Amino acid sequence: MAPGECKMPKSKKSKRANRAVPLSRTSTPDEAKAKPKQAKLKRKTGLTLNWKRAIHISSVIDDALLKELTPIILQMKQESSDPITVGIDSHGGSVAAMDSLLGLLQSPDQDGRCTSIYTAATNRAYSAAASLLAFGDYAVAFPHSRILYHDLRYSGIEDVTPSKALQTARELERGNVAFSLKLANQIRGRLIWVYIDMKREFDDVRTRYESFAKRYDDAFAESHPQRQKTMVDVVGFSLALYQRLSPPADEEIAIRALDLLKSWMEIETIESRLSSRHPEDERLPDLVKGINALVSEIRSMGSASRAAPNNPEPEQQDGLDENAQSDIKLLLEVLARRFARDKGLSIGGKGLDLIMEDFSFIKDINSNEQVRAITKMMIDYDQLFFGRPIADEIKGAKDHSERAKIMEPVYPQARMLWYYIVLICRCLCEGDHLLTPGDAQLLGLVDEVLGGGPVESKREWRKANPG
């Protein structure tokens, strides 16, 4: 954990329940929007593995495997649009080959019909194989299986130079960020299912870890001024996950993701307070304006010696453009926060790396892509956030401002939950995480553990509620 963060107490129950008491759902994430009008209408259970219509991956995932499986998959898809089961017992392999295999499985036929893909970890699902498992439409883990997640890695790099090593590190970092967002979009439905199933535990874990919960509630107070029962409770969810997950996944993922969320909130609080300052308040120097003036001066100093351009180009304006000013402002806020938390911090050594890590994290989490994902999640799971269907209201809105007004009351709650899901995925992409099947289900990487997991699966719920 970062210096100064609250250490999570290890006074867990002697053994977490092997299975949660199923939450009585009047509506579920996938089925809340519309209930059958006829009482006699029965819901098909489905989501059942069919080993007579299956492929098995028991070797390295590479181009050779892809070449071997391509004709088999194409023939199965031509024969029927019934789900294809993918058995996985692999140490992983090439991410590119895994993406191609997944694309082949998920691609539509000539009439645009897609086949559902059910993935199953029959023994080992490591690295790229773990990703393939998670990206199934319905993912299942055998009770003895093991699932390994880690960050993206390069192998076989030759003639390493400092510049090449730096470039590779940056590419890996960008790759981890992109994969985290892709994974978050895939597992959000599973994590919301877990959230609903464990919601009744939130008050108990809050009482059990009262001081810890209060610390994070206070940190999030500016985003959620009042904690209401109808509010999405990210802190309670994190504590419930912590209590159920096996060490070290409990702290390395569940609590680490909450710490990262707190870091983002701190930067947003700094931004909010600086933005609310009166323009005439000159008690603090405006460093952005100072840097802007310095850039203008340096450019003017070099203008006389610059050669005339060969091609006509628009003249560059003096000072910084709007995007550059925004980036510098964020960098200064990140810098100030780091120095405020660690008086012994030095720009040299790892200090600059930590600062740039914070900067990249905040920059990415505030991107338009994240905003679109939050909006989509609010619409897809409207019962959770609004307590009612809102699709018709949004469709009937006159313009963008009216749609925004409909979503505004719960947007902060949805944003907090979405970012927590993304940060869980970020944590999975940092270091090595060997997970039990139960841990994988709690983290949204699989839907079901054969024989029963810590959360009631969607298939099990359908069997118990056939109406």
Confidence of residue 284 (pLDDT cuts 50, 70, 90): very low
Is pLDDT of 125 > 90? yes
Which of these, 82, 73, 71, 72, lies nearest to 113 by C-alpha position? Answer: 82
pLDDT value, residue 236: 95
Which amino acid does the sequence have at 202? F
pLDDT value, residue 277: 54
**Residue 21 to residue 34: CA distance in whole angstroms:** 25
Average pLDDT over every residue of 352-359: 78
The two three-digit tokens of residue 381, written as one number? 């799971």
Helix ranges (H only) for 410-457 are 411-428, 437-442
Higher-confidence position of 45 and 64: 64
Q: Determine the 3-state secondary structure of 373 from DSSP.
A: helix
**Residue 124 to residue 386: CA distance in whole angstroms:** 40
Is pLDDT of 272 > 80? no
Is pLDDT of 39 > 80? no
Asked whether the beta carbons of 418 and 374 are under 8 A apart, the reply is: yes
The pLDDT mean for the chain works out to: 80
Strands 432-435 and 146-150: antiparallel
pLDDT, tens only, 219-254: 887 655 544 445 689 999 999 999 999 999 999 999
Residues 6+ apart with CB under 8 A from 130: 92, 147, 148, 149, 445
Neighbours of 438 (CB within 10 A): 22
Structural domains of the chain, ranges and CATH numbers in brackets? 46-151+433-467 (3.90.226.10), 158-276+289-295+322-430 (no CATH)
Residues 421, 425, 430, 436, CA torsion sign: positive
Average pLDDT over every residue of 266-294: 65
Give 3-state DSSP helix, strand, coil % of the chain, rounded to 5.
50, 10, 40
Helix ranges (H only) for 308-436 are 322-341, 351-365, 368-380, 382-386, 391-395, 400-407, 411-428
Higher-confidence position of 163 and 280: 163
